[in-house]
Structure 1
């Protein structure tokens, strides 16, 4: 029997047997089970399996962390035992019925924004690269100055850095229609209508241009870079489309459903939803700026400490909205270096455990988990090591607070979002790279030192067992 097949067999026994598995799927790092009876799970057995880096319940799912690559191979063996394997979307629908209203709302927000994040990551990298090549020192290497750069080249870079934000409402409306059961292409068109070139440009209005005034009191503008108007228009639009589809004759569905949906929704979006949620968005932005503007580095201290606690609760996707707003309005993201510090610190704490323990099994778990954290993914480190022994997690929180404090004091702000620590260096090529590396060294160093001195010994390993 192959190693992965044995792990799959023992894993299924640990979750109560195939008869206790309602459904199973996997993501990039975790196997996700929905079970009939939680009491039948032998959690200690599951967590002590080879290659398992941690296991926990979240969002109605029993999630077993294997890490990238490994999870695919083990899942292939699990499928051979004839369990009810389903797609991530199907299990998501099933899990969505579980948890309280806040958890379900935050999970839905994540489902909408997570598919959009890759293009925003790419946009941030383009911004960072443009900042790098436009630095005087870099241009001087080629005997150039900024005056030598052609306007056509600058226009080309604007295509790379501006497109995702100009058409952000189309991306948001598409994803929202998809999540709420509407037709995604209708969502795209609705979102594009919100940024139609016949409307006054949102950035132009912000700089003093006049909006269109309907009925003498409703300001109508384009919503370039906005999130909430498209998000709520997408929710209402998807539900409206389903409502209409149930009531029109099948022969007319292809014509009437998209026609009525778009007609009703663009009127509602431009005259009601847009103006209202544009104001709400502005309040959220101002609140975010106020928090980040707290004196003496308090924003970095607080966010750096609590960010990974929020990650455990699963509601950290709420930060996506705030980061998008910061990037769209200011072209930079002061959240990113603080979150980076929190992430790097957990990796530093895990690395200390790996180097201090004499347990070969724990070393084999902790070393790759710390590397994963340094690449921006903390789940293996948190659930596999730090939370299991408690103190390393707390030392990681302290390291994150100190690193976040340093980031706030230095005024660091990335050119993008969603990548941190080592990959995140690409967001700081515009002259901030040394400060960014210093913040990471501080966060990792503090967490490592505290864990080494006070946070772990093999005595804790025996007590946990």
Structure 2
């Protein structure tokens, strides 16, 4: 019998049998199923399988985490089930068919905004910093610190900070006023058309030749006349769409439709000339004459409705509802719409009151997991998921906590929702404002206007205390002794039984210490910061995240080892085994398996013997980013072998092949 035959057969039954599988594929670490009815999958029994390290559902795919041996498991599973595996693209298409139209639309919206979020977060932090140095009057007329009666800011007091305050707006304007450029680029990238045409379309929406969208209300007759385009039979005022989200989305989708249409009907011999011209030029006219004004009205309408809900007499009720339901929205993917709404609010009002509640919801769910850590302190297997899930949730990545802990037990999810609702009521009732979306969770305070920091700190305390207390109280009644880890402890040490005397034995030789060098040049961080729940929750094992340095394009062997796993179809990851049995996984980027190997090359084969510093993989950071994926690379110790102690160094810049980052003995 092959290694995984028994578990593969059990998994087939536990996912509902062959008739319940629409498609199955795998990536470097997990089996990916598209199920006809996910309700038929016995999640608890699947997670109890020796070869399974956890499960979660994402984008319509039911995923079972296996580890480095997933390719072998997949081969045995398809042989036993008689199901022919499909490509990643076919599995994604099948998963999309499993979703309703709203879920598919939110999925597309999420993939459009995902590449923009780092810039939006950076812009929000910059606005927060500018607010502190230029908008808060710390000093009085005499130059003394006087926050209560101050009339001068830091920028008013010092020339350096005044210059900094002014210059940082170059970045802030690029992020928020020029946002349509990024949106049009991201839409064309996501829909598989030409990104540079999207960039050009976005630039026409914010061109300095047009009347600035933020100046329309105060424009003089001369300004309007200077920006009026007269075509004899029709004239219109050329208005820019600075900061507009919906208008940019609509314009970009017009361009996508036109490019796909003309690509289909144009002979290939003249396609290079005809398609760009016939796509871009009509798209620009349609954007400014039709969909731009419509999108502007829709975007402003949505922002006004949300702002009314958050500033009217019923704002506390609205906040309670949003605070309670945001976590379930994350699990359905519908939360992606809030990115567009937040951005629209920031550009319309200069602030958003929606984002603070999102940060509080993340904290609340993390606090529920914190209570589970206390309740399950004797359950070592549960703690392997609980602790990293709590940390990542407090830092704004909620999926490990939601799918790995809170939804699994249900009551922590509900307790977190209750705490989030109360915190949101206080937050909105006291009109806390954020300058932009920011880092979720506890660091979210950096995006809050400075004068609301005290109130928001109180709201964070509420979001920590209430879910923790509720989860702890309910958990003491709901969790079994086995779930708390007490049953295993009692079985290991039965009451009244004396521990048997250990037989005399020759002392084992001391383990030979060793070290692993960085496989990639870049900033080394804890694995908890990986923007992927499988890695950040340490389901695959402990390790490090490495953010590649500019120009870094090669993964090297961290020690002398044998290549045990490669991914010939995608070349985005490699698995190694050391002589002491330690197993390593190096995974470049997040979801880069979807790129099908574009931008990647593998320089070794399975079974090869490699030396420390030898090149294993090469990749293009530009292509990874262009595909909309993070470049963060996971370096994981998935099995320790004969090593008894493994420690990881982080918080530094490492050089591939020379900087020690892991030590063991």
The TM tier, using the shorter chain, reads: 0.7 to 0.9
Shift of 1:407: 0.9
Residues 1:208 and 1:217: Cα distance change in structure 2 (over 3 Å): same
* Corresponding residue number in structure 2 for 1:444: 464
Q: Relative contact order (alpha carbons < 8 A, sep ≥ 6): 1 or 2 greater?
A: 1
* Corresponding residue number in structure 1 for 2:343: 324
Shift of 1:409: 2.1
Q: Given the alignment, which residue of 382, 394, 401 partners 2:402?
A: 382
Contact 1:391–1:456 (CA under 8 A) maintained in structure 2: no
Shift of 1:32: 6.4
In 2, Cα distance between equivalents of 1:144 and 1:354: 43
Deviation digits for residues 270-300 of structure 1 (CA, Å, limit 9, x no counterpart): 1111111111111111111111113362232
* Corresponding residue number in structure 1 for 2:156: 146
* Corresponding residue number in structure 1 for 2:12: 16
For 1:65-464, list aligned pairs within 5 A: 75-79=67-71, 81=73, 91-134=91-134, 135-137=136-138, 146-149=156-159, 152-209=163-220, 210=224, 212=228, 218-295=236-313, 297-357=316-376, 358-428=378-448, 430-457=450-477, 459-460=479-480
Shift of 1:330: 2.2
In 2, Cα distance between equivalents of 1:10 and 1:121: 47
In 1, Cα distance between equivalents of 2:446 and 2:6: 42
* Corresponding residue number in structure 2 for 1:3: none
Deviation digits for residues 84-133 of structure 1 (CA, Å, limit 9, x no counterpart): 6966x675444323311111111111111111111111111111222233
Shift of 1:13: 5.9
Shift of 1:171: 0.9
* Corresponding residue number in structure 1 for 2:43: 43
Structure 2: state its 5+ residue gaps.
Answer: 76-84, 146-152, 486-665
In 2, Cα distance between equivalents of 1:377 and 1:50: 27
Contact 1:25–1:85 (CA under 8 A) maintained in structure 2: no
Shift of 1:14: 5.8
Shift of 1:431: 3.7
Deviation digits for residues 224-272 of structure 1 (CA, Å, limit 9, x no counterpart): 1111122112112112112112222322211111111111111111111
Aligned-residue Cα RMSD (Å) equals 3.4
Contact 2:133–2:165 (CA under 8 A) maintained in structure 1: no
Contact 1:349–1:392 (CA under 8 A) maintained in structure 2: yes
Residues 1:14 and 1:231: Cα distance change in structure 2 (over 3 Å): farther
Larger helix share, 1 or 2: 1
Structure 1: state its 5+ residue gaps.
Answer: 1-5, 67-73
Counterpart secondary structure, 1:207: coil
**Normalized against structure 1, the TM-score is what?**
0.85
Counterpart secondary structure, 2:63: strand
Shift of 1:433: 2.8
In 1, Cα distance between equivalents of 2:35 and 2:264: 34
Shift of 1:445: 0.2
Residues 1:53 and 1:313: Cα distance change in structure 2 (over 3 Å): farther
Counterpart secondary structure, 2:396: coil
In 1, Cα distance between equivalents of 2:71 and 2:86: 7
Between the two proteins, the alignment pairs up a number of residues equal to: 446
Larger strand share, 1 or 2: 2
Shift of 1:404: 0.6
Residues 1:293 and 1:213: Cα distance change in structure 2 (over 3 Å): farther
* Corresponding residue number in structure 1 for 2:32: 33
